[in-house]
Amino acid sequence: MVGVRGQEEHDLSGGDIPVPKLGRVIVALTTFGYLALAISSMAARHVATRTIGFGIPILILLFLLQNLHSLPNRGGARPRYWIWTLSAQGLLTYIPFLSFEESWVGMPGFFSGSLLLWLPGAWGWISSGSVSLSLFLIEKHFGADSFTSFYYACGAAIIGLSIFGLTRLVDLLVEVQRARAELARLAVAQERDRVARDLHDLLGYSLSAITLKGELVYRLVSSQPERACEEISTMLAISRQALSDVRMVASSYRDMSLAAEIAATRAVLVSADIATMVTVDCGPLQDRVNTVLSTVLREGVSNLLRHSKAQHCVIEVVLDKGAVRLRLENDGLSSPPPVPTRRDGRGLDNLCTRLGELGGTLNAAAAEDGWFRLVALVPLAGSGA
């Protein structure tokens, strides 16, 4: 189980997502296609075979440099060697014009695309435009008319934009994949937090009540066996409810009834010889408010049973200026609870998270008179959000 979980986190981390192979192949095939056209152009212009043989290694170097510069998934970073490789591509683009003349007109387009990819901001566009202008002037130097010179200059610009567009398209595809992986990772993390919160909030009360009932049965089994049997029946009912709660956590957080929770809580407190006063005057509540306030009550009573020696308890649920207020008070607090130094996703932190989703607030503090007071407030307007 641990191995599967680790593999899942590794797969959803987004750090090792490969570059889409199809995008890389398309960029490489596009570059190779243009270079093949260059060789065909030299053959069509009846360039000497020895000269073509000299040009093929240069074309291969240009092919490798162009694919290096068009390598997707760079993430916007430029390695230290980029100025040298870009300069090498520039030299291999223009120097062969001395031998191949007009047969070399397709090569500046690749250099234009590399400039767009590697030079920042406006410098890339200015440099790319300069390449097209230089090709126009080169063609004029070789005796071409203005239309032909302009045609080849536009062709170089189109090749550069094609290389730039293809590479950026693959980059965007990689970014989308990373974003999806990150969203999946966050969804898994949120689901784990939800399960952890639900288990803590649902089982904390049940286990505390079972422990309390077990201690009571241990004291009563010899002196009052009939009452001990009654308490065992109650303890079994609580344990069955805890089992049902665990099963419900796997799918989603179940709806809870505040009225039923108050009744069960009162029974547990009375069996623990804690005088309990209950006041409920809030009318019917929405399911989400019912569930959240029931969870607050469970956590508060769990803390009462675990951390205090209370003799009296007050539970009050009333309407207060357009909001529902749950107040839980108990005496017997020996010392104020320590203030947590970090949020660990349990206890009162869970309650703050649940109430915050409804626009509510939670205040919990120990008073000087030895009473601990927990007040949860949920606005009725926010409860329907």
pLDDT in tens, 278-312: 988 887 888 888 888 888 888 888 778 777 778 88
Strands (E), 11-91: none
Confidence (pLDDT) at 20: 61
The residues, ordered by sequence, that sit 6+ positions from 266 with a Cβ below 8 Å of its Cβ are 276, 278, 315
Q: Indicate the range of 215-229, 282-296, 333-347 predicted with least confidence.
A: 333-347
pLDDT at 254 > cutoff 70: no
Q: What are phi and psi of 364, to 5 degrees?
A: -135, 125
Q: Lowest-confidence range among 16-30, 122-136, 177-191, 259-273? A: 16-30
Decide: 336 and 272 in contact? Cβ < 8 Å. no
Per-residue model confidence (pLDDT) at position 6: 45
Average pLDDT, the chain: 75
Average of pLDDT values for 70-97? 75
Q: Please, which pLDDT band fits residue 248 given cuts at 50, 70 and 90?
A: low
Quote the pLDDT of residue 5: 43
Give the pLDDT score at 250: 53
Residue 343 confidence (pLDDT):
42
Main-chain dihedrals φ then ψ at residue 343, nearest 5 degrees: -85, 115
Through-space distance between the first and last CA atoms of the chain, rounded to whole angstroms: 38
- Express each pLDDT in 149-188 by its tens digit: 888 888 888 888 888 888 888 778 777 777 887 877 887 7
The top-scoring range by mean pLDDT among 11-15, 242-246, 250-254, 339-343 is 242-246
By three-state DSSP, how is residue 276 classified?
Answer: strand
What is the share, in percent, of the chain residues with pLDDT greater than 70?
Answer: 76
pTM of the model as a whole: 0.47
Q: Count Cβ atoms below 10 Å from residue 259 Cβ, excluding itself.
A: 14
Average pLDDT on 329-334 reads 76
Q: pLDDT value at position 169?
A: 80
Per-residue model confidence (pLDDT) at position 75: 52
Q: Name the packing angle between helices 108-118 and 146-220 (round to 10°).
A: 40
Residues 224, 216, 273, CA angle at the centre, nearest 5°? 95
Give the C-alpha separation, 70 to 117, whole Å.
7
Q: Which amino acid is at 181?
A: A
What's residue 284's pLDDT? Answer: 81
pLDDT of residue 3: 41
pLDDT at 145 over 80: yes
Structure tokens at 293: 């306030």
**CA gap 136, 147 in Å, rounded:** 10
pLDDT of residue 384: 42
8 confidence band (pLDDT: 50, 70, 90): very low
Contacts 24+ apart (CB under 8 A), 350-357: 350/197, 350/200, 350/201, 350/295, 350/299, 351/201, 351/295, 351/296, 351/299, 351/376, 353/197, 354/197, 354/292, 354/295, 354/296, 355/292, 355/296, 357/292
